[in-house]
Amino acid sequence: MTECDPVKISERIISLFPGNFPEGRRSSDPFQILISTVLSQRTRDENTFAASKALFSQYPDCDSLSDITTDDIKYLIRPAGMFNQKAKNIISISKIIKEKYGGVVPEKLEQLLELPGVGRKTANIVLFAGFGVPALAVDTHVHRISNRLGWIKTKNPEESEFELMKVLPENLWGPINVSMVDFGRNICRPQRPLCEKCEFTSCCDFFKM
């Protein structure tokens, strides 16, 4: 083992930033996790929380959300931004889950990816947070940091997901997403990263440039 081993660094990042999923996406209900994760797309955690809280206070489940129109919820989810498209997707998702899956969120990646507005990151978050299934959600933070540290050489988050699955053991797939997001926001930022506060500069290709 070397100091630059991806597994060791991942474990250290998780220990330094042992975050849970943001409040807006915390739930024991896979359906609420799914809908909150859709709301979280391209917005901040506090906006996701506000929108999720408002939405679930009136429409907490698949049944209630499948029998309404977008106008009924657009004002509730407005804090999350892109509320017209998100409202449309949320209602479509609810109807599909109710009619096709008997009101139960599917546990297979392929089925989740068929839902409107659900990409690989969202699906993997639902699998891990909602069902405890090993799944690696890769966003821009995970993609950026793993490339900076030289673990992989990829062009986009989807490529990074498949390459990181070869590098990291399954038990780290779920936890590393949230921890790397916090690490990426606080230390390894997209612009002007705080390298002076980072423990991993000796392993970082970006720092050596």
Q: What is the pLDDT of residues 155-166, one digit of tens each?
A: 999 999 999 999
- Tell me the pLDDT tens digit for each residue of 85-100: 999 999 999 999 999 9
Q: What is the CATH number of the domain that holds 159?
A: 1.10.1670.10
Where in the sequence is the domain holding 146, given as residue range(s)?
A: 6-19+136-208
Q: Is 45 designated active site?
A: no
Q: For residue 209, give the amino acid letter.
A: M
Q: Which of 29, 45, 139, 182 is catalytic?
A: 139
d(C-alpha 128, C-alpha 119), whole Å = 14
97 lies in the same domain as 121: yes
Is 121 labeled as catalytic in the residue annotation?
Answer: yes
Note if the pTM is more than 0.85.
yes
Write the CATH number for 114: 1.10.340.30
* Residue at a domain's end among 63, 98, 131: 131
Give alpha helix (H) positions in the chain: 6-16, 30-39, 45-58, 62-66, 70-77, 83-100, 109-113, 120-125, 131, 140-148, 157-167, 170-186, 205-208
Angstrom distance (rounded) from CA 66 to CA 171: 35
Report in angstroms the alpha-carbon separations of 85 from 4, 32, 64, 106, 117.
42, 18, 19, 22, 9
Q: Are residues 148 and 86 in the same domain?
A: no
- More confident site: 209 or 203: 203
Residue 85 shares a structural domain with residue 145: no
Catalytic residue among 121, 197, 205, 208: 121
